[in-house]
Structure 1
Amino acid sequence: MKQGKSVQVLGTVMLALTIIFCILPFLSMFSAAVQPQGSTPEGIQFTAHPHWENFVDAWNMANITPLLISSTILVIVVVPCVVIFCSLGGYAFAQLRVPFKGLFYMLFVVGLTIPFETLVTPLYYEISGMGLLNTRLALMPPLIGLNIPFGILWMRSCFEQMPRDLIEDASIDGAGYLRTLRSIQLPLALPSISSLGILTFLATWNQFLLAVVLENDPNKRTMAGALQAFVGQYQTDVVLLNAGALLIMAPTMILFVFLQRYFIRAMLAGPVKG
């Protein structure tokens, strides 16, 4: 009995410490964001008269409105494409007889091991050769391709854990592969599909390096590119930088609040089981 209480207390302490370490950076950023502009905040310190106008100034200074539109368009295109392609590919790798399936799967595994930074320069010349450089389409194909290897492995693991009894019953009833996928397996795979969509959203929304390389027009970059507006050649406004960073993180935090059930279920249990 005492040992059980000790374990419970230890778990509570560890959870509390984890929460504190997670919240401290956000508290530090928020306290710095409401300080007078031009000051240099140190640590966590709150002022008696918080400057809420800093968020408005940060929004206007970084010209976030066109970046918000650009990132939204990018997410609307990239996330559905990755989810659809990876769901179909994962289903094929898990349950269909595909020639050279093992070889193709290993190629996707190898794709996960390649450092992202080594692909930036080749992608630049490829996109330039396609005539897409400095257009809204410049970021879409690379981001779709870069997210597919992980998505294929994620969804393959999901479909491999589907209940075989349901699949066999559907086959006996005359359902083909597509009918089985649409009517039985996709509904069961919804948590894995949702978590893949969330992870793809985060990777797309927070993309910075690729957006800077492929887009010369600052208004066509992602929201993460707005941070450049606060870093000058000779000085950096730390207050507005923190305010802008919080504005950029807000959409991802809001998304997590609404979809945390799927995200946490996927992170704790892995791909959904039947």
Structure 2
Amino acid sequence: MISRRERALNYAVLTVFAALALVPLVGVVASSLTPRAQSSPTFTWPDHLDWSNFSTAWAQGHFATYLRSSLLVAVSVVLITGVLAILAGYSFARFDYPGRSLLFYVTLVGLMVPPEAFVIPLYFNLRDVGLTDSYWSLILPQTAQSLAFGVFWMRNFFRSVPSAVIEAARLDGASDWRVLWQILVPISRPALLTMAMLVFMWTWNEFLLPLVMITDEAKRTAPLGLAFFQSAHTTQYSLLAAASVIVALPVVALYVFLQRHFISGMLSGAVKG
């Protein structure tokens, strides 16, 4: 049993680390609300809140277009990855066929290959088939990047489901397809939501692929648009902070909305290896 002293020490350590994580975020938000005449590269607490920084950054940075592009790419990657991960994870978890383990470990290689290792040959391959400077040049590679994690995640969850549940469904005449979509997928909601949130976050924050694949300004994603905005407003720190908050806000909002599912999803997705 944990003593009161140990519990107090644990809370003290957690409080310190939470403060270390929150102070930079508070600094960015404070800077985004600081009047431009008072803005500084160091931490500055504003005399009064200037909300016009957000509207100015939004208009000058064309973030409506960039956020729309990021949303389209991220949602597409999440949906495609989710469907493929469910199917492949179910196959690896519940079917027995020659080469299953080898194929699964080959799939996991995708977790070990950084984008920097293949982005140049990938660019030439997509250019040869006419897909560069299109949303597909972002959706397809990022789906492939996320799929290894998604398959691993869903396989572990499906393996954690008691076999008695599946056997009972099959005794009632349920096919494998029905077992998957009417029994396993509904009970895997926490794991699916957690996977979707992580894939959405990774896709939203991706910078290298859009930088290499996209030249059309209308198809730039939010992080790429933020980089161009930064280069044009190098010393306007309030506008840069406001633009950073705009780009980060969708991911923060998604996390807050799905927070209650996150811990249960993390546990259910990693119950069995």
Shorter-chain TM-score bucket reads: over 0.9
Q: Runs of 5+ in structure 2 lacking a partner?
A: none
CA gap 1:174/1:21 in 2 versus in 1, 3 angstroms: same
CA gap 1:232/1:158 in 2 versus in 1, 3 angstroms: same
1:231 match: secondary structure: helix
Distance 1:238 1:181 in 2: 51
Which residue in the other structure is 2:73 paired with? 74
Q: Quick one: which amino acid aligns to residue 202 of structure 1? A: M
Q: Map 1:10-89 to 2 at 5 A.
A: 10-37=9-36, 41-89=40-88
Q: Quick one: which amino acid aligns to residue 245 of structure 1? A: S
Distance 1:226 1:236 in 2: 17
* Cα contact 2:233–2:240 (8 A) shared by 1: no
Q: Quick one: which amino acid aligns to residue 82 of structure 1? A: T
CA gap 1:61/1:181 in 2 versus in 1, 3 angstroms: same
Distance 2:236 2:93 in 1: 52
* Offset at residue 111 of structure 1 (A): 1.6
Q: Quick one: which amino acid aligns to residue 6 of structure 1? A: R
Q: Runs of 5+ in structure 1 lacking a partner?
A: none
Q: Map 1:194-233 to 2 at 5 A.
A: 194-232=193-231
Distance 1:264 1:184 in 2: 22
Give the fraction of aligned pairs with identical amino acids, expressed as a percent.
31
Q: Map 1:1-274 to 2 at 5 A.
A: 4-37=3-36, 41-232=40-231, 235-267=234-266, 269-271=267-269
Distance 1:221 1:233 in 2: 16
1:139 match: secondary structure: helix
CA gap 1:124/1:38 in 2 versus in 1, 3 angstroms: farther
TM-score normalised per structure 2: 0.93
CA gap 1:272/1:178 in 2 versus in 1, 3 angstroms: farther
Distance 2:112 2:270 in 1: 25
Distance 1:14 1:127 in 2: 49
1:232 match: secondary structure: helix
Aligned residues between the structures: 272
Cα RMSD for the two superposed structures: 2.0
* Cα contact 1:151–1:196 (8 A) shared by 2: yes
CA gap 1:177/1:55 in 2 versus in 1, 3 angstroms: same
Describe the superposition over 1:118-156 as per-residue Cα deviations: whole angstroms up to 9, x where unpaired: 121111111101101112222111111111011111111
Distance 1:189 1:165 in 2: 16
* Cα contact 1:79–1:201 (8 A) shared by 2: yes
Distance 2:77 2:24 in 1: 30
* Cα contact 1:230–1:236 (8 A) shared by 2: no
* Cα contact 1:124–1:213 (8 A) shared by 2: yes
CA gap 1:238/1:121 in 2 versus in 1, 3 angstroms: same
* Cα contact 2:34–2:47 (8 A) shared by 1: no
Distance 1:103 1:191 in 2: 28
* Offset at residue 51 of structure 1 (A): 2.1
